[in-house]
Structure 1
């Protein structure tokens, strides 16, 4: 928890677009200084320049969250620039897939390396810094998919988000048990108007493209149409994150009805063996 965030320092990965950029803008509006990290250099430099020109105290560093050394450089950079870090948002994420047997191992490794190990690297590098503060907080971006599996072709993404929820819950319990000053939250949104569907623009050269997969293309078209129609604006999600940091709330659920129903279906499955079945776009 950070009861008063004015004057505090935030680090946001995946910070040059989507939810990450909205988080940065929200934090800046509340008087925070921000370090933006992203793997896309041109976009990162453009956003840092724009925010700085508007008067924000912001820095940027190109960071590959799948690389532990790169994340450690980010931590060292943040401390060198601002002397402390109070809020870490492990937000960078990617998505790719196909039917289970059609997903190459390279795709599994890429999605897990960015989504799960990116969060893990962030917590390992920044937790010692955060624990030196009187109040500090970690926000890990998971997904509604961390509560509801069953989406065809999304196996790597769903698995990575379940893993984020698990490691976050475990760390939360550990820190609370020893009365650490560091709080933990998990952000689990459903449809949000971001560029997640274009994640493969940043994939390594050894990761095959999923563009030629017909099942995948059909599902992504439906998903993109649904996001365009009913997806939340990233700024609305950022406001919820800010409130959770101030109130020490673990679950941040931008789509609470969908989240609660997903958990109810899981409980019914456990109690009655009634499987929730396949998730469709928007479920």
Structure 2
């Protein structure tokens, strides 16, 4: 997709982080925007900002864990603009801790947003976009699913998040192949950012009451939260820069989008482990102080 002006973009998780930057960049490109999030105040703020700049914006309070709410998002986009060209299945949350210490509520929340949100986005918007393409020989579309480098790696104390993002990578690769199989004029990309200041380490602020844990966080969950906040907040690549990378990938019809290509060395090591049948390599081989910190914090708690 080269020309984005007057195209319609649907963005989940649009009130903060990558979603907000996708919306800002889309507005600068002259796109019509349908913005979704569970955080009403954040939605209101980005809508006011973009409308004041002249953009056409529709907002929708949407919990992507719920199929009916994603369908309502699609209905709102069609009712307002009559088309959808770009879909950013971007909403995401984080959670950590030793994998056996995560509760059912932890799994349901993280998989509900990170994985089921993308599933609902793909199964709702892809048929709609195919229908639009059948009606217009000039139609072009693109779907971007936000995964993570955690979808290609398996760092300790990130099990729930790792699982959700690996599944998004798999879903996205399959979507790409399936669209190609039917010669659809719809591209697909998967965004795999590393540590970028987006606010995801504070995503528990939007955790629904029915999926909150009654007990206090375990020692491993506390240290995972601390390390996540430090890593994310100290990230040198901005969410705005990642949005620009993503729009470049859309124009080039490029599938994999990496914010930190240097992290692919760790992915290469992991794949060599798989191909050679050797045990998983130490993810902290280049930074043993991180392992030492983790172990010191967890000593006596495992």
Q: 1:50 and 1:124 mapped to 2: Cα distance?
A: 31
Residue 160 of structure 1 is matched in structure 2 by 164
Q: 2:180 and 2:269 mapped to 1: Cα distance?
A: 27
Q: Is the 8 A contact 2:94 2:203 kept in 1?
A: yes
Residue 50 of structure 2 is matched in structure 1 by 51
The Cα offsets for residues 195-223 of structure 1, whole Å up to 9 and x where unpaired, read as 10111111122323486322222233233
Q: 2:227 and 2:119 mapped to 1: Cα distance?
A: 32
Residue 128, structure 1, aligned to residue 127, structure 2: yes
Give the CA deviation at 1:225: 2.2
Determine helix, strand or coil for the equivalent of 2:237: coil
Residue 22 of structure 2 is matched in structure 1 by 23
Give the CA deviation at 1:272: 4.7
Q: 2:143 and 2:114 mapped to 1: Cα distance?
A: 15
Long gaps (5+) in structure 1:
none
| RMSD of aligned alpha carbons | 1.8
Poorly superposed stretches of 4+, deviation over 4 Å: 278-282
Give the CA deviation at 1:278: 4.3
Give the CA deviation at 1:128: 1.9
Residue 146, structure 1, aligned to residue 145, structure 2: no
Give the CA deviation at 1:74: 0.2
CA 1:202–1:211 in 2, change beyond 3 Å: closer, same or farther? farther
What TM-score, normalized to structure 2?
Answer: 0.88
Residue 99 of structure 1 is matched in structure 2 by 98
Residue 205 of structure 2 is matched in structure 1 by 201
Q: Is the 8 A contact 1:38 1:62 kept in 2?
A: yes
CA 1:230–1:220 in 2, change beyond 3 Å: closer, same or farther? same
Give the CA deviation at 1:150: 2.6
Q: How does 1:229-268 map to 2 (within 5 A)?
A: 229-268=234-273
- Structure 1 residue corresponding to 2:186, chosen from 182, 185, 200: 182
Q: 1:116 and 1:272 mapped to 2: Cα distance?
A: 28
Long gaps (5+) in structure 2:
134-138, 292-302
Give the CA deviation at 1:276: 1.9
Whose relative contact order is higher, 1 or 2, with alpha carbons under 8 Å and at least 6 apart? Answer: 1
Give the CA deviation at 1:98: 2.2
Q: How many residues matched?
A: 280
Determine helix, strand or coil for the equivalent of 2:210: coil
Residue 71 of structure 2 is matched in structure 1 by 72
Determine helix, strand or coil for the equivalent of 2:145: strand
Residue 232 of structure 2 is matched in structure 1 by 227
Which of 1 and 2 has greater Rg?
2
The Cα offsets for residues 232-269 of structure 1, whole Å up to 9 and x where unpaired, read as 21100000110111111000011111024323332234
**Most deviating of 215-224 and 168-177:** 215-224
Q: Is the 8 A contact 2:269 2:281 kept in 1?
A: no
What TM-score, normalized to structure 1?
Answer: 0.93
